[in-house]
């Protein structure tokens, strides 16, 4: 029996669907409004699921096309296996967020388990993944939109179209992540509802037209990849994980979720996993069973569009292409939300510049977001989109490797966190009960298995990556790490320049909480043994010169790489606090110790920028001529008054 009047059937199904969806959306909006009134600006599980689902839901547009050249007609099995694995990842992320309910995802987990250095690497990898997400999603959506045109769209027009979602969500996220999330949730809801309609419709088509289906094509399970082997199966299994990379995004905004937070996390992950499990494997199966082998091989990037055309003609094709465009554009917002959550966390902890946290909510209550994060990311994402317009496949691989690496980091962090003191009030029901011990260390089974599977997948995809993919990954990751390292270097240098290692007030300053910084300042260069006699001699000399007036003496030492253990630093502090200070309690002065890396000249140049030096003092030592020569050189170079004592 053959289905007739596909155009009429399309309009009928879509009309019924539209009515049901409109009623459902009205109820959802009412629920969201109620939850907003109850929880302020926090996100309900529905909105959070929309943010995550908009990213994961796009996998139906490309998943089967990626898997078919690798595993052929077994692609739906791999998609189904991935959906089952998502339950493991759900449990792992719930456990991690129970122990560390803070924004930042893998970065926060690694920070609390392995420390700042490794955490910064995880943060950089996450940044690369979100940048690639924004570029791939916006460009792919633009290409789908361009497919509605009779003529092919130029690359420049594709780039310009890709700027639309980037600019839109960049501006919307300056108001806060909740406003654009509502739009994204509506798009994601429409997307999954449409997919479920297509699944029912597709199986109905299959039943009524089963006699016309060529099942002989299944005799050769892998027509493009040759004989299936274990390495090929492993690669296919790893490639299928491209569809789960949105998991990390919820962990970036956990502090923005409605309380109780873990209940919200559980609901949003459960909703996403169920929706993907009910749609992705069946859509993959229908694409391969209803389309001919030639149609599949020649249209790997647009299989869902071809399926829609077969089921409902041009009308359903238009609906699917529109849905693909909107959903891919919505996935761009997931990149913004994830990056904003990560960047705010890193900025609060000093790994990114604090001006990123600038907000104007106190002046403009409707703008609750972080414009100094959203807008720069918007600009960088536009540059990335323009740069890789012709290399979307390469960026997609970068995106997959980076996100899998981030998820591996999260799983490792969960395992390590179980061996640290558990935060008071951690809900035990979200911690896995399946554990074993190795030399007194508790190993949770589910996070361990999740980490091993994801780690194996990451290594497999990495080993199959082309040189161009690895080059782009290394370049993006390297630039990001260098930028973060340069910022941290500047922070540390500023601290070395402006902060003192020890500052003691004597005489009338002994009981003053805030020591003055406007006293005449004398800098004593100390660099060897006999520091106590030199400091005491200097204080007496300056007291005579100042006629016992108040002053500050900075005992300065340049390490020059010769004191990595800090021996002289500790010596100076002990001498000042235990020997010098008790001997001059009747003098009104401030004693300061300042240690800096680098050479004497470099250190003095740095100090001169932050301290108004009255005189620079050197101990004459045993070789007065050599000391005088150095003093004259410093005097000429720094244009300072130099004294010998």
- Same domain as 288, residue 432: yes
319 DSSP assignment: H
pLDDT value at residue 112: 85
Q: Please give the average per-residue pLDDT across 57-74, as a whole number.
A: 86
Distance, in Å, from the CA atom of 199 to the CA atom of 485, rounded to the nearest integer, reads 50
pLDDT-derived band at 22, boundaries 50, 70, 90: very low
> pLDDT digits over 218-256, tens only?
877 777 766 777 888 888 888 888 777 778 888 998 989
Distance, in Å, from the CA atom of 93 to the CA atom of 269, rounded to the nearest integer, reads 9
Helix (H, G, I), strand (E, B) or coil at 636: helix
Assigned domain for 495 exists: no
Assigned domain for 397 exists: yes
Assigned domain for 493 exists: no
Assigned domain for 465 exists: yes
- Same domain as 258, residue 317: yes
The domain that holds 533 is classified in CATH as 3.40.50.620
- Same domain as 167, residue 73: yes
Higher pLDDT, 42 or 538: 538
pLDDT at 82 over 60: yes
Q: Crossing angle of helices 392-417/106-113, nearest 10°?
A: 40
Q: If you search the block for the tokens 């693909």, which residue do you land on? A: 324
- Same domain as 387, residue 506: no
- 225, 69 Cβ separation under 8 angstroms: yes
- 222, 233 Cβ separation under 8 angstroms: no
Give the start-end residues of each E strand in 359-449.
Answer: 435-438, 441-444
- Same domain as 567, residue 466: no
Report the Cα–Cα distance between both ends of the chain, in Å, rounded. 109
DSSP string, 36-69: HHHHTTPBPHHHHHHHHHHHHGGGGGTHHHHHHH
pLDDT-derived band at 496, boundaries 50, 70, 90: low
> pLDDT digits over 586-645, tens only?
899 999 988 876 677 777 877 887 788 989 998 877 778 888 888 888 887 778 888 888
> pLDDT digits over 160-204, tens only?
999 999 999 999 999 888 889 999 999 999 999 999 999 999 999
- Same domain as 509, residue 465: no
- Same domain as 38, residue 180: yes
Assigned domain for 492 exists: no
pLDDT-derived band at 414, boundaries 50, 70, 90: very high
> pLDDT digits over 268-303, tens only?
999 999 999 999 999 999 999 999 888 988 888 888
pLDDT-derived band at 500, boundaries 50, 70, 90: low
Q: Which of 454, 486, 518 is the last residue of a domain?
A: 486
Higher pLDDT, 564 or 510: 510
Distances (CA, A) of 522 to 545, 594, 606: 12, 12, 15
Assigned domain for 247 exists: yes
Assigned domain for 566 exists: yes
pLDDT at 498 over 70: no
- Same domain as 517, residue 417: no
Distance, in Å, from the CA atom of 539 to the CA atom of 506, rounded to the nearest integer, reads 12
- Same domain as 36, residue 121: yes
Of 106, 151, 631, the closest CA to residue 410 belongs to 106
Q: Which of 486, 515, 547 is the last residue of a domain?
A: 486
What is the pLDDT of the chain when averaged over all its residues? 85
- Same domain as 608, residue 465: no
Distance, in Å, from the CA atom of 393 to the CA atom of 610, rounded to the nearest integer, reads 52
How many Cβ atoms are within 10 Å of 271's Cβ, its own excluded? 18
Count how many domains the chain has.
Answer: 2
Range of the domain at 583: 502-644
Distance, in Å, from the CA atom of 25 to the CA atom of 185, rounded to the nearest integer, reads 10
Give the start-end residues of each E strand in 55-151.
Answer: none
pTM here is 0.77
pLDDT value at residue 18: 47
Query: What does the block give as tokens for 612?
Result: 């108004």
Lowest model confidence (mean pLDDT) among 274-278, 378-382, 492-496? 492-496
- Same domain as 599, residue 634: yes
Q: Which of 486, 517, 550 is the last residue of a domain?
A: 486
Distance, in Å, from the CA atom of 372 to the CA atom of 369, rounded to the nearest integer, reads 9
Is the torsion defined by CA of 385, 389, 392, 394 positive or negative?
Answer: negative
**Per-residue b or e along 200-239, where b marks 16 or more CB atoms closer than 10 Å to that residue's CB:** ebbeebeeeeeeeeeeebeeeebbebeeeeeebeebbbbb
- Same domain as 513, residue 473: no
Cα 294 to chain centroid distance, Å, stands at: 41
Assigned domain for 234 exists: yes
């Amino acid at each position: 029996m053959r289905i007739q009047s596909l155009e009429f059937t399309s309009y009928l199904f879509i009309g019924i669907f539209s009515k049901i969806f409109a009623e459902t959306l009205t109820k959802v909006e009412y629920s969201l409004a109620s939850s907003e009134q109850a929880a302020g600006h926090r996100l309900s599980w529905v909105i959070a699921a929309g943010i995550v689902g908009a990213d994961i839901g796009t996998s139906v547009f490309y998943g089967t096309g990626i898997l078919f050249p690798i595993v052929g007609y077994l692609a739906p099995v791999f998609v189904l296996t991935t959906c089952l694995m998502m339950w493991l990842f759900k449990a792992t992320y719930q456990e991690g967020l129970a122990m560390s309910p803070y924004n930042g995802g893998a970065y926060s987990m690694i920070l609390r388990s392995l420390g700042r250095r490794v955490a910064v690497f995880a943060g950089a990898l996450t940044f690369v993944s979100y940048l690639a997400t924004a570029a791939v999603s916006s460009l792919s959506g633009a290409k789908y939109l361009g497919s509605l045109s009779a003529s092919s769209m130029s690359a420049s027009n594709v780039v310009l179209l890709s700027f639309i979602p980037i600019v839109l969500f960049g501006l919307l996220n300056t108001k806060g992540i909740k406003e654009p999330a509502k739009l994204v949730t509506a798009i994601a809801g429409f997307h999954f509802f449409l997919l479920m309609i297509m699944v029912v419709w597709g199986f109905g088509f299959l039943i009524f037209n089963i006699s016309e289906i060529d099942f002989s094509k299944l005799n050769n399970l892998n027509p493009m990849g040759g004989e299936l082997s274990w390495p090929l199966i492993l690669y296919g299994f790893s490639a299928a994980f491209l569809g789960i990379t949105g998991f990390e995004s919820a962990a970036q905004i956990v502090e923005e979720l409605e309380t109780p937070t873990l209940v919200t996390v559980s609901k949003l992950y459960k909703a996403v996993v169920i929706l993907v499990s009910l749609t992705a494997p069946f859509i993959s199966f229908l694409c391969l069973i209803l389309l001919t082998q030639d149609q599949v091989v020649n249209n790997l990037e647009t299989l869902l569009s071809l399926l829609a055309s077969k089921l409902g003609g041009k009308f359903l094709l238009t609906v699917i292409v529109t849905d693909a465009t909107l959903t891919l554009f919505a996935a761009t917002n997931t990149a913004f939300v994830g990056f904003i959550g990560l960047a705010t966390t890193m900025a609060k902890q000093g790994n990114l510049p604090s001006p990123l946290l600038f907000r104007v909510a106190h002046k403009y209550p409707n703008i609750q977001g972080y414009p100094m994060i959203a807008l720069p990311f918007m600009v960088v994402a536009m540059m990335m989109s323009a740069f890789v317009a012709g290399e979307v496949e390469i960026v997609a691989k970068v995106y997959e490797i980076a996100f899998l690496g981030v998820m591996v980091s999260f799983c490792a962090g969960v395992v390590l966190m179980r061996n640290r003191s558990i935060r008071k009030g951690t809900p035990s029901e979200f911690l896995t009960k399946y554990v074993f011990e190795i030399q007194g260390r508790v190993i949770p089974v589910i996070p361990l298995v999740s980490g091993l599977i994801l780690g194996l997948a990451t290594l497999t995809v990495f080993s199959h990556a082309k040189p161009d993919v690895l080059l782009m990954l290394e370049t993006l990751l390297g630039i990001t790490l260098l930028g973060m390292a340069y910022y941290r270097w500047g922070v540390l240098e500023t601290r070395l320049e402006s902060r003192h290692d020890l500052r003691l007030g004597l005489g009338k300053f002994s009981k003053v909480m805030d020591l003055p910084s406007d006293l005449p300042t004398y800098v004593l260069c100390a660099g060897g043994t006999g520091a106590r006699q030199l400091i005491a001699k200097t204080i007496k000399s300056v007291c005579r010169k100042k006629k016992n007036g108040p002053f500050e003496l900075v005992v300065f030492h340049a390490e020059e790489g010769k004191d990595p253990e800090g021996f002289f630093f500790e010596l100076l502090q002990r001498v000042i606090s235990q020997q010098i200070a008790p001997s001059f309690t009747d003098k009104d002065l401030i004693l300061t110790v300042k240690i800096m890396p680098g050479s004497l000249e470099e250190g003095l140049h740095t100090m001169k920028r932050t301290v108004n030096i009255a005189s620079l003092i050197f101990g004459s030592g045993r070789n007065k001529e050599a000391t005088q020569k150095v003093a004259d050189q410093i005097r000429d170079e720094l244009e300072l008054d130099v004294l010998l004592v």
